């Protein structure tokens, strides 16, 4: 989630493992129940979640899931987003209480996102691998960044429900609209945009330049702002808002 680098060249065996996860029949109901119970307005009751055995049960299901040809693209994306978010919750719980995910240190690993803590289909992955070597490579959908939650205040909100193949696009569109409203700020008269660092860290995912990133936001903007951006997007000045790494915990 931090210290961006160019995507690595992936070895064929790694891609084969990713492509063989049988996501279409996977049941996310346990994770859905947990999110309904412990997430309110995007904030997490980590103390309560840490006492609930269902998170371990869900992660065990991910670890032991069978492998087969991936039949449904939406099911695969939903699975990997849910897995990223679930293992992030587990990472926080294992070190709770703490003020920020950045407080988590493990010898030999540059950041918490480099730790191979997520077992899925019998293979261990880091959060960085899930995000940058699987989701961004396989799907190339910028809305992925509205679904992944790194346990910080500046992240997208964590939904009170799991992602599903049936509602994936509806859920990601809703996340994009929320992020547009709550993580960015615009001064129309001055043509100034104060954007989340997501658009700085992942600039290439949103277009060839910052104006392209602004254009990508138009579908999620209020009509007046959308019209202003559409009219003269090249004239807008962009400032990136520093990331707030405080934990996304309930008061």
**What confidence tens digit (pLDDT) does each residue in 82-91 have?**
999 999 999 9
Q: What's the pTM value of the predicted model, to 2 decimals?
A: 0.91
Task: Look at residue 25 in the predicted model and tell me its pLDDT.
Answer: 79
Give mean pLDDT, residues 42-53: 99
Residue-wise DSSP of the chain: --S--PPPPPPHHHHHHHHTB--TT---HHHHHHHHHHEETTEE-HHHHTT-THHHHHHHHHHH--B-----HHHHHHHHHHHHHHHHHHHHHHH-S-SBGGG---TT-SSGGGS--EEETTEEE-HHIIIIIIIHHHT--TTHHHH---SBTTSPPPPSS---TTTHHHHHHHHHHHHHHHS-EEETTTTEEEEETHHHHTHHHH-SSHHHHHHHHGGGS-HHHHHHHHHHGGG-EEEEEPP--BB-B--
The pLDDT of residue 80 is above 60: yes
**What confidence tens digit (pLDDT) does each residue in 161-190 have?**
999 999 999 999 999 999 999 999 999 999
């Amino acid at each position: 989630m931090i210290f961006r680098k160019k995507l690595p060249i992936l070895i064929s065996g790694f891609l084969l493992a990713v492509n063989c996860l049988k996501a279409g029949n996977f049941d996310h109901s346990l994770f859905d129940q947990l999110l309904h119970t412990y997430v309110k307005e995007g904030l997490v009751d980590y103390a309560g979640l840490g006492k609930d055995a269902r998170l371990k049960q869900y992660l065990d299901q991910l670890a032991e899931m069978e492998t087969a040809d991936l039949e449904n693209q939406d099911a695969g994306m939903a699975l990997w987003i849910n897995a990223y978010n679930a293992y992030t919750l587990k990472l926080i719980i294992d070190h709770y209480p703490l003020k920020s995910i950045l407080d988590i240190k493990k010898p030999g690993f540059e950041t918490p996102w480099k730790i191979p803590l997520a077992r899925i289909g019998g293979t261990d992955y880091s959060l960085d691998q899930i995000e940058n070597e699987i989701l961004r490579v396989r799907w190339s959908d910028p809305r992925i960044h509205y679904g992944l939650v790194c346990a910080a205040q500046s992240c997208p909100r964590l939904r009170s429900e799991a992602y599903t193949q049936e509602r994936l696009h509806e859920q990601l569109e809703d996340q994009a609209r929320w992020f547009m409203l709550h993580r960015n700020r615009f001064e129309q008269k001055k043509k100034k945009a104060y954007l989340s660092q997501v658009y700085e860290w992942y600039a290439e995912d949103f277009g060839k330049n910052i104006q392209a990133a602004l254009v990508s936001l138009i579908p999620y903007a209020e009509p007046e702002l959308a019209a202003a951006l559409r009219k003269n997007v090249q004239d807008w000045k962009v400032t990136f808002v520093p990331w707030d790494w405080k934990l996304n915990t309930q008061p």
